[in-house]
């Protein structure tokens, strides 16, 4: 086996050396003990075995936990992939999807050769071509577009197929910067909260999820750990074993809600009102930590004044909960210390998502648990990301400042419906590591754009996705076991190495290989387009004391390295203009939000748009399903069967009003589109006026009924955040 630099890969022996350095060997033996260790015997998959080697892998899918994995390789094939038992987060077991990585790797439908369109767009007729022909066609189209419309007529679309630093966040952007292509924002996922938290704390960096076990009260607000962050559940349960309380704030009764000590099933989009109502009681009844507030916060008087606008009676009405529930929250939350507030990403994909996060963010400060072990807030972590973006992405290569399009408006951009694309149309779309049909919003608009005869679309993909169906040229992408990268969790504090275990299958190429080669075909002579992943890992790590252990050699040797920040904010230094936690922020006011925080009705809601609400009275939430990772894994038979057909969960009262019975098909509709799905009728999963259907089922597996046809492409209040959940629909019996 060779790695991308042609060096020797990890043998079982060298792996053990590395893991011994971390004291891992016991766990690893434990792991191999259940498989056949002898050469020449049958493997668990029934393949005749030669010598077995272990490879160091990391799951690079878009997840809070980037699991450390160990692949067993025999006769040039990976026969088993398991979780690293010694990594505290992975703890030996990947999630349901991670357990089927091999089924993805050796899936019979992998695209193995470049293809060109041989029918109408979207028709799915293809002709096999060589890489040479593919590169010639693409460079010709790029040069034509640049000559006729300028370089901004070229637009990348990309998000999170892989989240590796080199293949996702690195080399492709060198290419697009050099071209001077349109920039896209990376706003589909979590930018609202990420922008909101620094106004309060000067930073969004969260506590270590391993410290969840030390809390006395875990509040999970707008997230669903048992589906989207399964590796943190064990830490929550450890805390509960030690007597901690669990509070869930969510319109959807998900698995943790059913186990909670208190479940607040509030009306979607009203979280800011609920948070300010809770603070109304905490402040007026003197339940907050006065010393902490006096020493480390600023703007308390303004907050005190603002929360007077949110008395429990009014908040109960806005949030459709009882006053007793608000008081029960206050009682449980203020009596159990230290407490953690965990905020998800899904709940803030709303028109006022940033304001919601801002309002909730005050609670840990009022309780004085910031910087305390087992206390504080949890949202996202990037502080342990060790790479220098200026080096990995090379923004300096750009010939000039180019336009930026919000990725949530992909449909409008390629359909020519944005003011900027009326001026300069998108002529070439290069889509890689992203699958807008069915993961982006307003899918019908995206299809309209992709159908444009004068749009040249390139899709670099592992599988024939719904988006690939619309390509002019499809390029085969390598699986993550076929290239080397460094990946990091976005909740835990680990930086993890993933080696190249296999040669790319067929003629597939990794993102790095593709964009380096395409750059050369475009005549770009910059030295950076000769760099391999290993070169970039070696040269690209920031020269900061916290990253001194993170070297290429250490990553290869140790598999994963924790960047330990201890108790976040324990020094009580906050990088805000005042140096304190800001309940009042002049900067957020400049960004157009209330300087403290306020509840504003959603753009699509009863209060925000009464006329629309009269037509479409149900708020549709489209969270993550346990079996898919956005759209990935839907084509794996075991997962597909387990997932079943898409459905919509509706409240029994709404169902009865419409003559819908459990299992009936119903039509879900708004101005953006309509889909037909099976109804799951429930008294408790959602309240009346709310429905839930999971995101990103493949369009082609659901006869065009992907829920993202209905998802809005509006932009939220902070940093361009998506608004998937601000979504009014009508549901009728089919
Ligand atoms: N309705 C609704 N929709 C949502 C959301 C929601 O809440 N509601 N959430 C949104 C969120 S949070 C996110 S992050 C987005 C995710 O949106 P995307 O990032 O577009 O996610 P995927 O659908 O998984 O598409 C990734 C594609 O990359 C391909 N791929 C995997 N590895 C590689 C590789 O190494 N190279 C290349 N070239 N391709 C690769 C996969 O095969 C897959 O087709 O979805 C969003 N969609
Ligand atoms: N299995 C699986 N895991 C995943 C993913 C996946 O697709 N599948 N996606 C990954 C990605 S890309 C991301 S960004 C993360 C997302 O991780 P999460 O944020 O946990 O995921 P979501 O399911 O998008 O949304 C979480 C919750 O928000 C709730 N919610 C919606 N509106 C509101 C509201 O107004 N108020 C409140 N309080 N709650 C609300 C929904 O009911 C849902 O339970 O997960 C990652 N992990
Ligand atoms: Mo995401």
pLDDT in tens, 227-270: 999 999 999 999 999 999 999 999 999 999 999 999 999 999 99
Measured in Å, residue 151 CA sits from the centre of ligand 1 at 26
- Judge whether residue 40 has pLDDT over 60: no
Ligand nearest to the CA of 224: 2
How much is the mean pLDDT over the chain?
93
pLDDT in tens, 565-611: 999 999 999 999 999 999 999 999 999 999 999 999 999 999 999 99
Ligand 1 pocket test, pick from 165, 631, 721 with the greatest ligand atom count within 8 Å of Cβ, gives 631
Place of tokens 């840990």: 364
pLDDT in tens, 631-674: 999 999 999 999 999 999 999 999 999 999 999 999 999 999 99
- Judge whether residue 68 has pLDDT over 70: yes
pLDDT in tens, 505-549: 999 999 999 999 999 999 999 999 999 999 999 999 999 999 999
The residue whose CA has the least distance to atom 30 of ligand 1 is 161
> Please, where are the H alpha helices in 591-651?
610-615, 637-643
- Judge whether residue 175 has pLDDT over 80: yes
- Judge whether residue 200 has pLDDT over 70: yes
pLDDT band at 556 (very low <50, low <70, confident <90, very high): very high
Ligand 1 pocket test, pick from 462, 518, 668, 677 with the greatest ligand atom count within 8 Å of Cβ, gives 462
162 lines ligand 1 (CB under 6 A): yes
Region 298-319: mean pLDDT is 98
Q: What's this model's pTM, rounded to 2 decimal places?
A: 0.94
Quote the DSSP letter at residue 571.
T
Measured in Å, residue 244 CA sits from the centre of ligand 2 at 23
What's the confidence (pLDDT) of residue 27? 35
Q: State how far the Cα of 394 lies from the Cα of 5, in Å rounded to an integer.
A: 22
> Please, where are the H alpha helices in 320-461?
323-335, 353-366, 389-392, 410-414, 419-423, 436-439, 443-450
Place of tokens 């493949």: 698
List of domains in the chain: 115-188+388-480+503-551 (3.40.50.740), 207-378+569-590 (3.40.228.10), 610-733 (2.40.40.20)
Measured in Å, residue 344 CA sits from the centre of ligand 2 at 6
- Judge whether residue 21 has pLDDT over 80: no
Measured in Å, residue 188 CA sits from the centre of ligand 3 at 7
Place of tokens 């998506």: 722
What's the confidence (pLDDT) of residue 50? 85
- Cis status, amide bond into 301, omega within 30 of 0: no
Region 38-62: mean pLDDT is 69
Ligand nearest to the CA of 463: 1
Ligand 2 pocket test, pick from 64, 67, 186, 228 with the greatest ligand atom count within 8 Å of Cβ, gives 228
Q: For residue 151, which phi and psi values (nearest 5 degrees)?
A: -70, -20
CB atoms within 10 A of CB 214: 19
Q: State how far the Cα of 685 lies from the Cα of 250, in Å rounded to an integer.
A: 10
pLDDT band at 7 (very low <50, low <70, confident <90, very high): very low
Q: Percent of the chain beyond pLDDT 70?
A: 93
What's the confidence (pLDDT) of residue 38? 31
Which atom of ligand 2 lies at the shortest distance from residue 225's CA?
Answer: 20
pLDDT band at 49 (very low <50, low <70, confident <90, very high): low
183 lines ligand 1 (CB under 6 A): no
Q: Percent of the chain beyond pLDDT 90?
A: 93
- Judge whether residue 22 has pLDDT over 70: no
Please name which of 64, 73, 129 lies closest in space to residue 105, comparing C-alpha atoms: 73
């Amino acid at each position: 086996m060779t790695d991308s630099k042609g060096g020797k890969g990890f043998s079982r022996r060298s792996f053990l050396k590395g893991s011994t350095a971390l004291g891992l060997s016991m766990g690893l033996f434990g792991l191999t003990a259940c498989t056949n260790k002898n050469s020449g015997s049958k493997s668990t998959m029934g393949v005749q075995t030669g010598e077995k080697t272990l490879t160091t892998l990391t799951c690079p899918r878009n997840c809070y936990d980037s699991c450390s994995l160990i692949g067993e390789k025999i006769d040039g094939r990976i026969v088993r992939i398991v979780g690293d038992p010694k990594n505290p987060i992975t703890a030996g077991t990947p999630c349901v999807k991670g357990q089927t990585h091999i089924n993805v790797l050796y899936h019979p439908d992998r695209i193995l050769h470049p293809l060109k369109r041989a029918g109408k767009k979207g028709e799915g007729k293809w002709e096999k071509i060589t890489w040479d022909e593919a590169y010639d066609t693409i460079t010709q189209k790029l040069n034509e577009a640049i000559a006729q419309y300028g370089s901004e007529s070229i637009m990348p679309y990309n998000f999170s197929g892989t989240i590796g630093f080199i293949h996702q966040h690195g080399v492709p952007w060198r290419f697009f910067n050099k071209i001077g292509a349109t920039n896209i924002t990376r706003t589909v996922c979590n930018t609202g909260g990420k922008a909101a938290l620094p106004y309060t704390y000067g930073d969004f960096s969260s506590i270590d999820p391993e410290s969840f076990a030390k809390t006395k009260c875990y509040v999970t607000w707008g997230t669903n750990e048992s589906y989207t962050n399964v590796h943190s559940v064990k830490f929550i349960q450890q805390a509960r074993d030690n007597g901690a309380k669990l509070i869930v704030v969510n319109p959807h009764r998900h698995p943790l809600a059913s186990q909670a000590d208190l479940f607040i099933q509030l009306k979607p989009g009203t979280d800011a009102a609920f948070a300010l109502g809770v603070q109304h009681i905490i402040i007026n009844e003197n339940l907050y930590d006065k010393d902490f507030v006096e020493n480390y916060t600023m703007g308390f008087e303004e907050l005190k004044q603002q929360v007077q606008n949110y008395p429990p009676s009014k908040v109960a009405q806005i949030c459709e909960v009882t006053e007793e529930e608000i008081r029960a929250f206050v009682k449980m939350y203020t009596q159990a210390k230290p407490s953690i507030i965990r905020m998800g990403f899904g709940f803030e994909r709303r028109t006022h998502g940033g304001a919601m996060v801002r309002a909730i963010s005050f609670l840990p400060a009022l309780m004085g648990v910031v910087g305390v072990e087992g206390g504080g807030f949890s949202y996202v972590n990037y502080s342990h990301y060790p790479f220098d973006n200026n080096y990995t992405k090379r923004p300096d290569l750009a010939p000039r400042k180019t336009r930026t399009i919000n990725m949530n408006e992909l449909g409008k951009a390629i359909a020519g419906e944005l003011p900027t694309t009326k001026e300069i149309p998108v002529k070439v779309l290069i889509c890689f590591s992203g699958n807008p049909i069915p993961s982006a919003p307003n899918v019908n608009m995206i299809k309209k754009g992709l159908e444009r005869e004068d749009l040249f679309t390139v899709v670099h993909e592992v599988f024939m996705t719904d988006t690939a169906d619309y390509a002019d040229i499809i390029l085969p992408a390598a699986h993550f076991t076929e290239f080397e990268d460094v990946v990091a969790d976005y909740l835990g504090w680990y930086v993890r190495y993933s080696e190249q275990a296999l040669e790319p299958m067929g003629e597939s190429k990794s993102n790095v290989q593709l964009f380096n080669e395409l750059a050369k075909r475009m005549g770009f002579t910059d030295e950076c387009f000769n760099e391999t992943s290993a070169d970039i890992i070696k040269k690209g790590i920031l020269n900061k004391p916290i990253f001194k252990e993170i070297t290429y050699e250490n990553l290869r040797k140790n598999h994963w390295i924790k960047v330990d920040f201890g108790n976040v904010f324990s020094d009580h230094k906050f990088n805000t203009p005042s140096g304190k936690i800001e309940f009042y922020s002049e900067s957020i006011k400049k960004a157009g939000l209330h300087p403290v925080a306020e509840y504003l009705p959603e753009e699509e809601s009863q209060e925000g748009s009464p006329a629309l609400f009269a037509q479409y009275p149900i708020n549709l939430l489209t969270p993550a399903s346990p079996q898919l990772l956005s759209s990935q894994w839907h084509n794996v038979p075991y997962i597909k069967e387990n997932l079943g057909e898409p459905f919509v969960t509706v409240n029994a009262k709404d169902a009865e009003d419409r003559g819908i019975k459990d299992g009936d098909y119903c039509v879900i509709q708004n101005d953006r589109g309509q889909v037909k799905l099976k109804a799951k009728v429930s008294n408790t999963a959602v309240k009346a006026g709310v429905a839930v259907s999971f995101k990103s089922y493949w369009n082609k597996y659901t006869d065009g009924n992907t829920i993202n046809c209905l998802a809005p492409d509006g932009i939220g209040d902070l940093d361009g955040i998506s608004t998937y959940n601000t979504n009014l629909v009508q549901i009728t019996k089919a």
